[in-house]
Amino acid sequence: MRRSVAERGGAEAVADAEPEDDGEDDIDRWIADAGARRLYGWPLGSPDRAVTVRRVDGRTVTTDGPFAETKEQVAGYDLLECDDLDDALEVASGHPVAGGGVIELRPLWR
């Protein structure tokens, strides 16, 4: 069963996910522990680098942002393939972001 993991955290957690940060060792350890259960994933750039696109009346509208008003933001994602929810919870709970932020687990749509 495949599911995606979204890492959400405050601004600090996003900073933690930046590649130059010390957090890299922790992530590497987590990836090693997850083994074949983690298929792929990547940290996301900060929301101030976001661009939004929509289609309105056949026209493409591109804007800068959005800049989330809320403190929580998606800091990264991973795709897991696990036997069941308990297995996925075990993998996700070991993620470094689970320590300060929140990990949201969702099954892929089927």
Partner 1 sequence: MSSSVDAVALSFERSWGRLVAGLIAWCGDWDLAEECAQEAFAAAVTAWERDGVPAAPVAWLTTVARNRARDRMRRRTNEAAKVALAHADASDEVAPVDDEDIPDERLRLIFTCCHPALPMPARVALTLRTLCGLTPAEIARAFLVTEPAMEKRLVRARAKIAHAGIPYRVPPPELWGERVEGVLAVLYLMFNEGYAASSGDSLLRVDVSREAIRLTRSLVELLPGEPEVRALLALMLLTDARRPARVRDGHVVPLEEQDRSLWDLDRITEGARLLDADPPWGPYAVQARIALCHDVATRPEDTDWPAIAELYTLLPATPVVELNRAVAVSQVLGPKAALELVLPLADDLSGYYLHAATLADLYARLGRTSEAADALATAIEQAPTGAERRLLRARRESLLHG
Q: Which residues bind partner 1 (CB under 8 A)?
A: 1, 3, 82-89, 107, 110
Distance of CA 67 to the CA centre of its chain: 17
**What is the closest distance, in whole angstroms, from the C-beta atom of residue 86 to partner 1 in the complex?**
6
Between 24 and 104, CB nearer to partner 1: 104
- Residues 69, 79 contacting (CB under 8 angstroms): no
Eight-state DSSP code of residue 45: P
Eight-state DSSP code of residue 19: T
Between 17 and 103, CB nearer to partner 1: 103
Q: How far apart are CA 19 and CA 56, in angstroms?
A: 36
Between 24 and 87, CB nearer to partner 1: 87
**What is the closest distance, in whole angstroms, from the C-beta atom of residue 48 to partner 1 in the complex?**
34
**What is the closest distance, in whole angstroms, from the C-beta atom of residue 84 to partner 1 in the complex?**
4
For residue 93, give the amino acid letter. Answer: S
